Amino acid sequence: MRIRKISEVIGFRVFTDGGDFFGQVEEANLFENKIESWRIKVGGSVGAVMGGARGVIVPHQFVRAISDVFIISRGALPSGDMGFEEAND
């Protein structure tokens, strides 16, 4: 198991455990020196489904693997408006 620095993970492509492209890692949210969640910039066809949202906050517990890509559980996908950052155009 290789330990990575947070700075190495920023920009990684994010996929669901079903193989769908979800977006890119923008930043990690820390709480008491531990990763609490990840801010993911939504991309691909997922962005159209999410109604103009730029990104989503994914709790760290939904991260399945971090290697060359990020893999998250489909259960991490928000329902309704929770967890979205609206686009400010």
pTM here is 0.76
CA atoms within 13 A on the CB side of 42: 22
Q: Round to whole Å and give the CA distance between 1 and 87.
A: 37
**Measured between alpha carbons, how far is 12 from 17 in angstroms, rounded to an integer?**
15
Q: What tens digit of pLDDT does each residue of 14-53 get?
A: 998 888 888 999 999 999 999 999 999 988 666 666 666 7
Q: What share of the chain in percent tops pLDDT 90?
A: 46
| CATH class label, 6-76 | mainly beta
Higher per-residue confidence, 11 vs 50 = 11
For the chain, the domains span 6-76
